[in-house]
């Protein structure tokens, strides 16, 4: 991410401090980094493609809906901004996910059981 986009994010967040921390990362579609601001930590995901704004607007809406239920912990979405150099950025609350791998087995089991107990899962499992 370039200095112009960083300044735009700082302005929208109302922060002077915007320091990258951690290793960052990227997936098949977008890349991201975590930053420390005057108001705490944020996660910034960026994508240079023309359809990025639409994708991030959808992610913002879906995370907002989940966040508002207060049933599971998801990052609070903060901003979606167009990148002057193309694409868009999505800014959310930073969640520290370290140490969660010890729950992988339990999570997989729980999701499998929920799927099997659902009507669709039960029918598929029974060959109906």
Per residue in 31-40, pLDDT (tens digit) is 999 999 999 9
Is there a contact between 121 and 115 (Cβ–Cβ < 8 Å)? yes
> Is residue 111 over pLDDT 70?
yes
Angle at 4 between CA 51 and CA 6, to 5 degrees: 85
The residues, any chain, with a CB within 8 Å of residue 56's CB and separated by 6 or more, are 45, 47, 80, 88, 89, 90
Residue appearing with tokens 């868009």: 88
- 32 neighbors 75 (Cβ within 8 angstroms): no
Residue 25 binned pLDDT confidence (cut-offs 50, 70, 90):
confident
DSSP summary character for residue 101: G
- Per-residue confidence (pLDDT) for residue 122, from 0 to 100: 63
pLDDT classification of 128: cutoffs 50, 70, 90: low
Q: Which helix (H) or strand (E) holds 8?
A: helix 3-13
How many other C-beta atoms can be found within 10 angstroms of the C-beta atom of residue 83? 19
How high is the pLDDT of residue 115? Answer: 76
pLDDT in tens, 45-104: 999 999 999 999 999 999 999 999 998 889 999 999 999 999 999 999 998 877 667 777
> Counting beta carbons within 10 angstroms of the beta carbon of residue 97, is it exposed (0 to 12), middle (13 to 18) or buried (19 or more)?
exposed
pLDDT at site 105: 81
The phi and psi torsions of 28 (rounded to 5 degrees) equal -70, -25
């Amino acid at each position: 991410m370039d200095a112009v986009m960083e300044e735009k994010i700082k302005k929208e967040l109302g922060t002077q401090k915007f320091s990258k921390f951690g290793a960052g990362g990227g997936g098949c579609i977008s890349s991201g980094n975590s930053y420390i601001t005057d108001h705490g930590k944020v996660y910034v995901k960026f994508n240079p493609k023309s359809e990025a704004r639409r994708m991030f607007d959808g992610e913002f809406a879906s995370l907002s809906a989940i966040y508002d239920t207060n049933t599971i912990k998801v990052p609070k979405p903060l901003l979606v901004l167009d990148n002057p150099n193309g694409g868009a950025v999505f800014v959310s609350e930073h969640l520290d996910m370290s140490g969660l791998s010890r729950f992988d087995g339990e999570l997989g089991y729980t999701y499998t059981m929920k799927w099997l107990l659902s009507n669709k899962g039960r029918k598929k499992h029974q060959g109906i």
